[in-house]
């Protein structure tokens, strides 16, 4: 353990949930500490109480929570007893905080420089010229290019990574001794995430501050943590040194969490026996023309001409970062948007089935892909009934499918809000399967799920593929997930297909520089090496 | 494979929209406004049973009598019973208000759904709507009445036309957001025909904001109808309406202020009730405001 005195120490912190919640405490008897010069990672799945813990330390708990019990000692001072005024002066000066969403945490109508400057104005009274110099220096420190120019930029002119750097600059400009980072890299692309993690690590080392880093990603933990606290349902399950936790976890839950993280090892055989051809895509492309106010048009290429073939029983992974054109490809193939050129042709025995029956799509966001006003049963039978199946037969089929995806048939009469994210994704899969498709397009279908749930849904997709001999186009930004489920991989970068090959070939000897960069950025490679 | 049950086992399946309505009924302004509106509607429907006499019967012998046992609110310039005219006047006011709200909503929803969903139609539709919004309600009503003949139909038509663009804009804005939702794309990919997508997946999202807008349109129409009648371009003078009564009572305001006062009181009460109802509905149905409470 650490001999240095802790900067912040939580003693038996309890945050009660309002009545009617699924449990009585959001945070239930949590004790942990962060010392100078160390990074403590709090890891847990959604609903584990990790964010509430962070909010309690900052004194920023939403009003619906009652007053927390226990103690939060910051330098020996109990923050739970501190006045609002005292908390305000501590925030920013002594405790800095960065959030998950770099898009919403910045005010869109102020320049980023002014927003960093606001921290200085709130806490110090210095002339504006002096503050400007300090802001520019802070922006330089977090690696923002050309800080004098960027000072006057608005948030929408910056990339996601740059915005997160701005937030880090604002959080650290007063050199706080403690930084609380709540999932700061979750919304970022993997290559950007690697850069930001390195930035936080470097700054922490050079300043010797303590960092409380909240994440759901064990890979990120392996990348950055000195010590780890594992939380589940508001309680600390296990805590200790990072190498100990990752190599010899004691609690079952920790073991499950680590085991659920997909590895880069290809899970499928290298030489799959290809089934009959199901889909050929020839030179499909999408350009948008943006008309400006002065009559000129500007062409934006979302997808350059791309070709691929997909066989029955085969899974092709399309990987790439946001803006790489992978979702555009999926939408063009399923004809949710019209491609500008090229075509996608479904092959094989169709039995005269119309296009929409033969290709189905499962979406990313399980909270928005089901109509909240219709029961899940109504959502599932909608497709078959569109194609003339009698109602009673469609309901029977829906009941069978519910069992198939691991849900109770009786739940068909419930509304989507009564299900968890993983359950809703199962329902979405059932809805797609109700059409008896030959091709399933999964557009980031597991990206919004916790790792343990993700593993279950991946297994379900694998099962239904075998059962129905489906051809699957699996769109994902997560290379680890792709390794688990795909036979072949396509790597996309800026609307272009840059590399194609079997999982093993692409991961062991990536040919394109961008693929190499993607592979290098995967968090938790240290963990894989240690294991 | 393991069976997973929904997390909230035991809770009865509940339609989210019904839940919202239940919540709305707990809001005090919905309750008060709803009570006032219900009372006025009840009065209009049960007018013949409320001790009234024929509201248009002229009796020159009893002109401008003060309130008495025979005529509770007194009589007017032509000896008609003011109480009966006020009670029957609720019929005209509500008829105009509700018809305008219903027609404006029906046409607005239709145009808004189609315009919001089909981008090509949208450009044309919205320009037409911009044009309609430029027409002043009063001028249109006066023009229509002088072209044809004063009747409830003319008044309703004149009041409905300028209200349609407001409904269209609201519905269109909802459609524009909802059509991008993944569940709409999911419906497209399971082959649901476009009219059904509009009806099943998009229309329900517009109901809550429409309910709120509908109350404002209704209150507005009642006020404008009264104003038109006051100006002599509204309902024909033989129909008892609050606007007509105020107009006729104006000449004798110094002598018998009740001729203006009583219909005004009921007019104000009705509009207040409808507005309270609308405000309360907005507070509970609009999540952005509801969350702050």
What secondary structure does DSSP assign to A337-356, as a single string? S--SEEEEEE-S--TT--HH
Residues A520, A428, single domain; the answer is yes
pLDDT (0 to 100) of residue B2? 41
- Residue A159 phi/psi, 5-degree rounding, is -80, 170
**Which residue among A156, A175, A194 closes a domain?**
A175
Residues A309, A188, single domain; the answer is no
pLDDT (0 to 100) of residue B287? 54
Task: Give the whole-angstrom CA distance, residue A516 versus residue A398.
Answer: 44
- Min Cα distance B111 → chain A (Å) is 23
Residue B104 has pLDDT above 80, yes or no: yes
User: Which of B4, B196, B199 to probe by mutation at the A interface, max A CB count within 10 Å?
Assistant: B4
Record: contact B1-A406, CB cut-off 8 A: yes
Task: Give the whole-angstrom CA distance, residue A373 versus residue A224.
Answer: 43
SS3 state of residue B190:
coil
Residues A491, A364, single domain; the answer is yes
User: Does some domain include residue A477?
Assistant: yes
Task: Give the whole-angstrom CA distance, residue A199 versus residue A142.
Answer: 7
**Which residue among A115, A148, A175 closes a domain?**
A175
pLDDT (0 to 100) of residue A474? 95
| Token digits of residue A296 | 């000129």
Nearest residue of A to residue B186 by CA position?
A369
On whether the CB atoms of residues A438 and A344 are closer than 8 A, the answer is no
Which sequence spans correspond to the domains of chain B? Answer: 43-55+82-292
Residues A318, A383, single domain; the answer is yes
User: Does some domain include residue A313?
Assistant: yes
| Interface membership of B188 toward A (CB under 8 Å) | yes
Residue B138 has pLDDT above 90, yes or no: no
On whether the CB atoms of residues B170 and B213 are closer than 8 A, the answer is yes
Residues A387, A252, single domain; the answer is no
| Interface membership of B190 toward A (CB under 8 Å) | yes
| Interface membership of A330 toward B (CB under 8 Å) | no
pLDDT (0 to 100) of residue B12? 47
Spatial CA neighbour of B78 closest among B241, B255, B238, B267 = B238
Record: contact A369-B186, CB cut-off 8 A: yes
Option in B6, B15, B204 nearest A423 (CB): B6
Of all helices (H) and strands (E), which one includes residue B211?
A: helix B203-231
- Min Cα distance B103 → chain A (Å) is 26
Option in A415, A419, A435 nearest B190 (CB): A435
Residues A169, A208, single domain; the answer is no
How many Cα neighbours within 13 Å face the side chain of A488? 18
* Rg of chain B (C-alpha set): 23
Residues A188, A171, single domain; the answer is no
Tens of pLDDT, residues B164-204: 999 999 999 999 999 988 999 999 999 899 999 999 999 98
pLDDT (0 to 100) of residue A486? 92
pLDDT (0 to 100) of residue B176? 92
| Interface membership of A370 toward B (CB under 8 Å) | yes
**Which residue among A151, A175, A199 closes a domain?**
A175
Distance of CA B18 to the CA centre of its chain: 22
Task: Give the whole-angstrom CA distance, residue A460 versus residue A447.
Answer: 15
On whether the CB atoms of residues A196 and A228 are closer than 8 A, the answer is no
Residue B1 has pLDDT above 60, yes or no: no
Number of compact structural domains in chain A? 3
- Chain A residues closer than 8 Å to B6 by CB: 408, 411, 414, 418-419, 423
pLDDT (0 to 100) of residue B16? 61
Number of Cβ pairs < 8 A linking chain A and chain B: 99
- Chain A residues closer than 8 Å to B185 by CB: 336, 361, 363
pLDDT (0 to 100) of residue A24? 82
Which A residues 419-438 touch B at CB under 8 Å?
A: 419-420, 423, 426, 428, 431, 434-435
Q: What is the CATH classification number for the domain harbouring A222? A: 3.40.50.300
Residues A181, A166, single domain; the answer is no
- Min Cα distance A379 → chain B (Å) is 8
pLDDT (0 to 100) of residue A362? 93
Residues A449, A390, single domain; the answer is yes
User: ipTM of this model?
Assistant: 0.79
User: Which of B2, B17, B179, B183 to probe by mutation at the A interface, max A CB count within 10 Å?
Assistant: B183
Residues A315, A256, single domain; the answer is no
Residues 6 or more apart whose CB falls under 8 angstroms from that of A467 comprise: A404
User: Does some domain include residue A266?
Assistant: no
- Residue A83 phi/psi, 5-degree rounding, is -75, 165
pLDDT (0 to 100) of residue A350? 56
In eight-state DSSP terms, residue B78 is T
Residue B4 has pLDDT above 50, yes or no: no
Segments of chain A with pLDDT less than 70:
1-3, 20-22, 270, 272, 292-295, 348-353, 525-531
Q: Does domain B43-55+82-292 have CATH number 1.25.40.80?
A: no
Task: Give the whole-angstrom CA distance, residue B185 versus residue A368.
Answer: 10
- Residue A349 phi/psi, 5-degree rounding, is -70, 120
**Alpha-helical regions (H) of A21-83:** 50-58
* Rg of chain A (C-alpha set): 25
- Model-level pTM? 0.82
Record: contact A419-B7, CB cut-off 8 A: yes
SS3 state of residue A240:
strand
Query: What Cα–Cα distance (Å) separates residue A480 from each residue in A477, A486, B221?
Result: 9, 10, 62
Where in A258-337 does DSSP place strands (E)? 277-291, 297-311, 315-319
Residues A132, A197, single domain; the answer is no
User: Does some domain include residue A252?
Assistant: yes
Residues 6 or more apart whose CB falls under 8 angstroms from that of A506 comprise: A489, A491, A499, A500, A515
pLDDT band at B293 (very low <50, low <70, confident <90, very high): very low
Distance of CA A195 to the CA centre of its chain: 16
> Which structural domain, as residue segments, surrounds residue A229?
1-94+176-260
């Amino acid at each position: 353990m650490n001999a240095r005195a802790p900067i912040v120490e939580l003693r038996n912190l309890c945050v009660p949930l309002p009545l009617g919640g699924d449990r009585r405490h959001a945070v239930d008897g949590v004790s942990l500490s962060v010392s100078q010069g160390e990074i403590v990672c709090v890891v847990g799945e959604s609903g584990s109480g990790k964010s509430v813990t962070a909010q309690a330390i900052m004194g920023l708990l939403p009003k619906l929570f009652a007053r927390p019990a226990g103690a939060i000692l910051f330098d020996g001072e109990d923050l739970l007893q501190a006045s609002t005024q005292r908390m305000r002066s501590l925030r920013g000066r002594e405790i800095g905080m960065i959030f998950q969403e770099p898009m919403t945490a910045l005010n869109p109508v102020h320049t980023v420089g002014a927003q960093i400057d606001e921290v200085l104005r709130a806490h110090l009274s210095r002339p504006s010229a002096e503050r400007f110099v300090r802001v520019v220096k802070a922006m330089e420190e977090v690696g923002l290019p050309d800080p004098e120019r960027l000072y006057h930029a608005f948030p929408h002119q910056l990339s996601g990574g740059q915005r997160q750097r701005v937030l880090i600059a604002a959080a650290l400009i007063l050199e706080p001794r403690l930084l609380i980072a709540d999932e700061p890299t979750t919304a970022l692309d993997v290559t950007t995430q690697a850069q930001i993690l390195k930035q936080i690590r470097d700054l922490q080392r050079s300043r010797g501050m303590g960092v409380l880093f909240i994440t759901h990603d064990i890979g990120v933990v392996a990348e950055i943590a000195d010590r780890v606290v594992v939380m589940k349902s508001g309680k600390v399950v296990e805590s200790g040194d990072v190498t100990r936790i990752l190599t010899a976890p004691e609690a079952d839950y920790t073991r499950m969490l680590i085991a659920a993280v997909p590895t880069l090892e290809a899970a499928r055989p290298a030489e799959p026996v290809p089934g009959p051809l199901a889909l050929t895509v020839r030179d499909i492309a999408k350009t948008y023309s943006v008309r400006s106010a002065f009559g000129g048009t500007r062409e934006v290429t979302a997808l350059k001409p791309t070709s691929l073939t997909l066989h029955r029983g085969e899974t092709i992974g399309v990987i790439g970062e946001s803006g790489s054109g992978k979702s555009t490809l999926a939408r063009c193939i399923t004809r949710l948007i019209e491609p500008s050129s090229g075509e996608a042709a479904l092959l094989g025995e169709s039995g005269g089935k119309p296009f929409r029956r033969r290709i189905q799509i499962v979406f990313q966001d399980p909270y928005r892909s089901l109509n909240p006003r219709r029961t899940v049963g109504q959502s599932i039978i909608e497709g078959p009934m569109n194609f003339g199946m009698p109602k009673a037969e469609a309901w029977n089929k829906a009941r069978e499918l519910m069992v198939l995806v691991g849900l109770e048939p009786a739940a068909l009469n419930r509304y989507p809000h009564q299900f968890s994210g993983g359950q809703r994704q199962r329902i979405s899969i059932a809805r797609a399967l109700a059409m008896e498709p030959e091709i399933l397009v999964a557009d980031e279908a597991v990206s919004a799920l916790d790792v343990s749930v993700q593993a279950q849904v991946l297994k379900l997709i694998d099962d239904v593929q075998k059962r129905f001999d489906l051809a699957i186009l699996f769109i994902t930004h997560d290379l680890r997930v792709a390794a688990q489920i795909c036979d072949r991989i396509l790597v996309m970068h800026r609307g272009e297909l840059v590399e194609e090959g079997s999982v093993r070939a692409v991961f062991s000897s990536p040919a394109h520089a961008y693929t190499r960069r993607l592979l290098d950025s995967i968090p938790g490679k240290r963990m894989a090496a240690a294991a | 494979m393991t069976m997973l049950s929904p997390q909230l086992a035991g809770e009865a399946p509940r339609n989210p929209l019904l839940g919202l309505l239940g919540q709305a009924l707990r809001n005090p302004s919905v309750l008060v406004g709803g009570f006032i509106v219900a009372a006025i509607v009840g009065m209009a429907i049960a007018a013949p049973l409320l001790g009234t006499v024929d509201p248009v019967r002229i009796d020159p012998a009893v002109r401008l009598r003060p309130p008495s046992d025979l005529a509770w609110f007194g009589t007017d310039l032509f000896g008609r019973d003011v109480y009966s005219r006020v009670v029957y006047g609720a019929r005209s006011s509500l008829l105009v208000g509700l018809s305008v709200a219903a027609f404006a909503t029906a046409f607005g929803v239709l145009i808004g759904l189609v315009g919001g969903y089909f981008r090509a139609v949208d450009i044309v539709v919205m320009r037409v709507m911009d044009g309609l919004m430029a027409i002043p309600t009063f001028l249109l009503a006066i023009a229509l009445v002088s072209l044809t003949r004063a009747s409830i139909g003319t008044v309703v038509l004149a009041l409905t036309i300028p209200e349609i663009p407001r409904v269209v804009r609201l519905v269109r804005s909802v459609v524009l957001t909802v059509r991008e939702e993944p569940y709409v794309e999911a419906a497209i990919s399971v082959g649901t025909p476009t009219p059904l997508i509009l009806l099943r997946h998009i229309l329900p999202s517009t109901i809550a904001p429409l309910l709120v807008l509908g109350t404002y349109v209704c209150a507005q129409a009642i006020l404008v109808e009264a104003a038109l009648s006051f100006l002599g371009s509204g309902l024909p003078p033989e129909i008892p309406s609050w606007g007509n009564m105020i107009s006729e009572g104006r000449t004798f305001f110094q002598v018998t202020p009740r001729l203006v006062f009583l219909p005004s009181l009921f007019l104000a009460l009705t509009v207040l009730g409808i507005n309270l109802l609308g405000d309360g509905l907005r507070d509970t149905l609009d999540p952005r405001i509801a969350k702050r409470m």
